[in-house]
Structures are given as C-alpha cells and as structure tokens.
Amino acid sequence: MAYLMFVLAVLTRFIPHPWNFSPVFGALLFGGARLPKRDAIWFPVAVLAVSDVLLTTQVYGMQMHWTYGLGSLAFASVALIGRWLCREVTVRRFTTAAFAGPTAFYLISNFGVWLGFRTYPPTWEGLVACYVAALPFYRNSLLASFLFGAVLFGIYEYYERKKGRVQLDVPAARLG
C-alpha cells in the first residue's frame, strides 16, 4: 500500500499545479517513514528521478543538466528526514519533519541552481540572491509538505486501522 501511495503521489507531478505545490514533499516524508528500511531512500529517489527525466525531456522539452544529481540528493535528504518518523508519527514530530524536509531541499537544490546555471553571479551576493528568488517556491514546498504529508499519513493510518479491524472481526465472527 505504501509503495502505491507513493507512486500515485509522484504521478500528480504530471498534472498542472503551482510550482512546488504537489504531493512530492509529503510523499517523500511518507515514503521515508512507511516504506521498509531497505527501500525508504532509494525507491523514492529512483521514482522521482525517473519522473524528473520524463518531465524535463518529454513534457518541458529541455535537456537534463548535471545539477539534477543535486536534486536527487535533495530528494534523498527529505526521505531521510521522513525516516525519522518511522517509529512514531506525532503532531510535533510530523511538524518538525514537514518543516525540515522542504528546508533541506530548498538549501541543497538552490545551491545547485546557483552553482550550475550561472543565472546568478558566483559570489556570496549571487548565492543570497538565488535563495531570495526561490522563497516563493520554498513557501509552496512548505505548504504542500504539511498538507499532502498530513493527507498521506492520514489515509495510510485509516487504511491500517480499518485493515486491522477487519482482520480482528473475521475470527470473532467465525467463533460465534
């Protein structure tokens, strides 16, 4: 179920949406927390890397750039932060992760933009200008992380509880 939920969340990237306001960040936190340990980082990053290639080359008609590797590193950092939620998801822990994940992504990915695209001067001022220009995207990432992360964790918990009740009710019904 967790794999399917993650893949469906990533597929929403192909539906028009405001920049950085998609279930991706919530899905990365969710995947990090709910996928088995062996798959919690590589699976989300691989699925997002494939979707990046398809979006960049097929949808937007652009060429891939070496900085996309930094994007994968940024995605991995969000999934790793989600891994912190694997033992227990509380409001406080989720809030911390939903803030930390997009923040890590913002810091890593925009450093890559500054470093690789030369849109900004290769100076401290250029780096600061790059981060400032990305603030609207960061805001959307935070909002999406909280909203879609809560939805994904909520659906999963509901599913698990409902599944647990059904399994508990069946043997009781057979005994009666």
Q: Please, which contacts does 60-69 make with residues 24 or more away whose CB atoms are closer than 8 Å?
A: 65/116, 65/117, 66/116, 67/112, 67/113, 67/115, 67/116, 67/117
Query: pLDDT by residue (tens digit) across 33-72?
Result: 999 999 999 999 999 999 989 998 898 888 888 888 898 9
CATH of the domain at 131: 1.10.1760
Query: pLDDT by residue (tens digit) across 1-34?
Result: 889 999 999 999 999 999 999 999 999 999 999 9
Q: Give residue 111's domain range.
A: 2-175
The total domain count for the chain is 1
